[in-house]
Structure 1
Amino acid sequence: MSAVLLAIDTATEQCSVALKVDDQVYQRAAITPREHSQRVLGFVEEVMAEAGITLAEVDGIVCGYGPGSFTGVRIGVAICQGLAFSHTLPVYPVSTLAALAQQAVRKHNAERVLCAIDARMNEVYLAAYSVTAGLVQEQVPPQMAALSAVTEQAWWPTVVAGSELSAQHSIQVVGAGTGWQAYGDALNPTNEIHVLDDVTLPLAEDMLVLAEQTHAVSAEQLEPLYVRNEVTWQKLPGRS
């Protein structure tokens, strides 16, 4: 995708903005809890100035639309909608969990990624991804679960790495996101998952990559991705 794209994510503790112009990426990121609304537009202005372009030259907005903190998700979606409305731009919604998985690919050439973001109160936002041609492919969609539900079903390794093909090729399963640091003993009791300590929060630059495989929506159609804890984990085919 050669379009000029602006990516924004405020769904977690990290406020992140990235601008892609041709093959060059300009970015800003900072862990600023409770300050996203004050920082995000400043970051947008900074990357625009660094690239030497204006919003009128942007072709699309890439939005980190959740899951994450409700306030953070709302801020990011509202900012993206406002920019898209004012400049009649398409929006490419990308999940924070997919961005985490793509970051694991970029930094570690990961092939199978289990993402877990701390949702507080012994709950986590979860998703699982495989990788094809350098881009993550969703295997288990973003969901919210109590730790007890995850550990009782005990299929973290199975859902991503349990096939004979994976075993034959020694594909390593990695864990990304703050959930692993917060609840590692519960999520990874046997240490079968290799946790990436440097992939904890999503970055807008990885959302730029994922926009290539994301269907664009209008500003009016953009909605936050809120996942609820009443959503149950999907069971694997052939498993009870």
Structure 2
Amino acid sequence: MSLYLLALDASSSACSTALLRQDNGHSECVARFEMTPRGHTRRLLPMVDDVLADAQVTTSQLDAIAFGRGPGAFTGLRIAAGAAQGLAFGLNRPLLGISTLEALALQGHRRYHLRHVVTALDARMGEVYVATWHCLKDTIRRQDEEAVMAPDKVILPDDETDWVGVGSGFTLWEQFNTPLQAAMTHHLSDLEPRAEEMVWLAARDYAAGLGQAAHAVQPVYLRNQVAWKKPA
């Protein structure tokens, strides 16, 4: 049995797409990743065309579509959601929304063999999008709810001390509280969410029957206020 799954993401300063092909126990992933601040609208769909062409797969062969549903940059999330919803609706295929924070945790686990991961993305307005994860053999287990808060309010679970931070939120390192800094062995602030990890998470969710109709899958912002307002 074969599976063809496309993922796309524009939740950060990066833009990425990935095509996963699984057939008779063999898996192949073709991916594109570019740092494209303010260029998501221009680059996202051409990158979709690129991965489909490289994999020699047509849109009609796709079994499902996935996208980075957030949290992340408001405009980028809307761009990716709109593109993914349009593809899924036009092809009559199920759509899956994948957590950007979970994708970051999987990236840290696969690239650096991290076990206990704190993912944080810069949410602007002096806050971060954050969650904690335990990772083992490509299995990602969330330890708390995804949230948006000031860095000094982030509290780690008590069961481990070798936490590693992943994501742009750790450019605000000096603003995190002292207990968190003491519990964290190091942090990697240069990693961005990627469709390459999202497509594997989407394959997991697709196998679990979690695909939905295109209109039913929406971005996750974690905050209602999306623009900073100067106090009166």
Category of TM-score, reference length = shorter chain? 0.7 to 0.9
Distance of aligned partners of 1:212 and 1:21 in 2 relative to their CA distance in 1, 3 Å threshold: closer
| Structure 2 partner of 1:209 | 200
In the alignment, which of 112, 115, 119 is matched to residue 111 of structure 1? 115
Equivalent residues of 2:152, 2:177 under 8 A apart: no
1:35 aligns with 2:30: no
Which residue pairs with 1:222 in the alignment?
217
Could you say which residue in structure 2 is the equivalent of 1:146?
A: 150
CA spacing shift, 1:145–1:2, aligned 2, 3 Å: farther
* Percent sequence identity over aligned pairs: 35
Cα-Cα RMSD: 1.9
Aligned with 2:52 (options 48, 53, 69)? 48
- Check whether the contact 2:166–2:187 (CA below 8 A) recurs between aligned residues: yes
In the alignment, the residues of structure 1 paired with residue 107 and residue 46 of structure 2 have an alpha-carbon distance, to the nearest angstrom, of: 24
CA deviation vs aligned residue, 1:46-87 (integer Å, no higher than 9, x gap): 111111111011111111011111101100111000000000
Aligned to 2:229: none
Q: How far does residue 91 in structure 1 lie from its aligned partner after superposition?
A: 1.1
Match of 2:230 in 1: none
**Residue 20 of structure 2 corresponds to which residue in structure 1?**
20
SS at match of 1:39: helix
The 1:132/1:216 distance shift into structure 2, 3 A limit, reads: farther
Secondary structure of the residue that 1:16 maps to in structure 2? strand
Q: CA deviation at 1:194?
A: 2.9
C-alpha distance in 2, partners of 1:218/1:86? 11
Q: Post-superposition shift, 1:212?
A: 3.5
Partner SS for 2:6: strand
For residues 141-220 of structure 1, the aligned pairs below 5 Å read 141-150=145-154, 155-156=155-156, 159=157, 162-163=158-159, 166=160, 172-180=162-170, 182-187=171-176, 189=178, 190-197=181-188, 200-214=191-205, 215-220=210-215
What CA distance in whole angstroms lies between the structure 1 residues aligned with 2:124 and 2:200? 29
SS of residue matched to 2:146: strand
Give the TM-score taking structure 1 as reference length: 0.83
Instruction: Give the SS at the match of 1:220.
Output: helix
Higher strand share: 2
Map Cα deviations across residues 23-54 of structure 1 (whole Å, 9 max, x no partner).
Answer: 11111111111110110000000111111111
Equivalent residue for 1:67, pick from 59, 68, 71: 71
**Cα distance in 1 between the residues matched to 2:75 and 2:15:** 12
Runs of 4+ aligned structure 1 residues displaced above 6 Å come to: none
- Unaligned runs of 5+ residues in structure 1 are 231-240
Contact kept, 8 Å, 2:19 with 2:31, in 1: the verdict is yes
In 2, Cα distance between equivalents of 1:86 and 1:140:
36
TM superposition shift of 1:105: 0.8
Unmatched segments (≥5 aa) in structure 2: 226-232
